[in-house]
Each structure stands twice: as C-alpha cells, then as structure tokens.
Amino acid sequence: MGLMNGVNNDEYVRLLGAWPSPFVLRTRIALNLKRVPYEYLEEEDTLNSESVLNYNPVYKQIPILIHGNKPIRESLNILMYVDETWLSGPPILPSDPFDRAVARFWDVYIDEHCFTSINGVAVAKDEEERKTAIAKLEQCMGLLEETFQECSKGRGFFGGDNIGFIDIGFGSMLGPLKVLEKFTGVKFIHPENTPGLFHWTDRFYAHEAVKPVMPDIEKLVEFARLKFNTSIF
C-alpha cells in the first residue's frame, strides 16, 4: 500500500519488512484493518541492512514500524501501538481488561510454542526430534481449538465478529503451517480434530485486511527449501 498525497511528516508511516516473515505479516494486516496508509519497504538482507541496524540496534530484526521518525519494534508491541494510535476500523484488542490479558497471553503462547514447534519440525536432526516437534505442534493446535471456542463465543473469529489480536497472531502463522502440512503429510488443522480452526482459516484468508498481503504458499515452499535445506522440504 502506498502513502496518500499530503500526509504530514509526523503521520508518515513506513514499514520495514520481508515478505516471508509472519511477524511482518501481522503488522501489514493490522495496518490494513485500521485503514492506515503506509509505505512498505522490503529488506532483502535484514542482517546487513543499514535501516534495520539504525532503527532496531538492539535486536536487529524486522518488522519495524516507523511513525513519523519514531520506530516501533517487535510485532506484538506494534499491534498494540497500531490499535491505540489509530481509532479507524475495528479494535484489535478487546476493551475488557481481562479479555485483553487473555488475548496477549495466547499470542505470546503462539510465538513461544507454536512458532518454535514449526521451526522445530523443519530443523529436526533426526526422526525422533521431528516426531517430538510434530507432537508439540499438534498439542498447540488442540489448545488453540479450545481457545477459539471460548473466545469466539460462537462467532466467526477469536475476536468475535471481526479479526482481533489472537486472529492476527495465529493467522500470520498459517502460511508456514500449510507449508509444513504439505511436506510432512500431517494435517495440523483438521475438520474433525480442530473443526473451529478449520472453518476459521477460510474466513481469515478471505478477510479484506488479510487477502491482499497473505504470501503465496508455493513461494513460501521455495523459500523454505532454500532456508532450511532439509529433506522435508
């Protein structure tokens, strides 16, 4: 998405990212949801990027959202900033303090357990490690199925009638998860084992804030082959 003409420098929004990153995807979905015009800057070599080193000297990672001249780092932190800064569009986090705490808890869980398990399967040194990582990822899906049933309250998304914090946090992992399903033969999101997540996935992909920025699965497959260089890819 390009910047609108006449945007004040203090409101000028840029996003430093890389297309395969699920964490960058989160930010793009949030900005789309809030209808925030922004300039997307693809960083092909994030480890040696002068912009990344300049705006995130501590972690040297993307995404980095630059609002005016203010850099905001770390994807979940960025989601909260976007939600609090732009009131246009639906809220990303619930208004109730307890529900907000629950949403933050599950997004941290997704990063610390689900994403690490996805990587764990890809980099497993042997079949035993691979089975352990797959079992952990299946456990993650089971817990997220229960969480969906509790948080959605019978509606279409974790956030209720529209996508919210957990939807964006977990939805950004669907690309890597689908790549993993394709090459392991294991269906982590299944209509019988995880029926809520199974139908939620279709709704998430079709959402107007998601559809234009979701990476192509075949491109992700090729990226994974090059990155991990393992037998499963």
Check residue 7 and give its pLDDT.
Answer: 60
DSSP state of 4: P
Check residue 10 and give its pLDDT.
Answer: 81
Q: What is the SS3 assignment for 66? A: strand
Give 15-62 pLDDT, tens digit per residue: 999 999 999 999 999 999 999 999 999 998 887 889 999 999 999 999
Give 125-141 pLDDT, tens digit per residue: 999 999 999 999 999 99
Query: At residue 5, does pLDDT exceed 90?
Result: no
* Alpha-carbon span 199 to 67, nearest angstrom: 35
Check residue 3 and give its pLDDT.
Answer: 44
Task: Name the one residue in this structure whose structure tokens are 């300039």.
Answer: 39
Mean pLDDT of 187-204: 97
Q: For residue 157, what are the contacts with CB-CB under 8 A and spacing of at least 6?
A: 163, 164, 167, 200, 203, 204
Q: DSSP letters of 1-42?
A: -PPPTT--GGG-EEEEE-TT-HHHHHHHHHHHHTT---EEEE
Give 86-140 pLDDT, tens digit per residue: 999 999 999 999 999 999 999 999 999 999 999 999 889 999 999 999 999 999 9
The count of other CB atoms within 10 Å of the CB of residue 157 is: 20
Pairing of strands 70-73, 13-17: unpaired
Contact 73, 25 (CB under 8 A): no
Query: At residue 232, does pLDDT exceed 70?
Result: no
Give 143-167 pLDDT, tens digit per residue: 999 999 999 999 999 999 999 999 9
Higher pLDDT, 2 or 45: 45
Task: Name the one residue in this structure whose structure tokens are 């529900």.
Answer: 99
The crossing angle, in degrees rounded to 10, of helices 22-33 and 174-184 is 140
Check residue 233 and give its pLDDT.
Answer: 41
Higher pLDDT, 11 or 31: 31
Check residue 66 and give its pLDDT.
Answer: 98
Which contiguous run of DSSP H or E holds residue 72?
A: strand 70-73
Check residue 225 and give its pLDDT.
Answer: 86
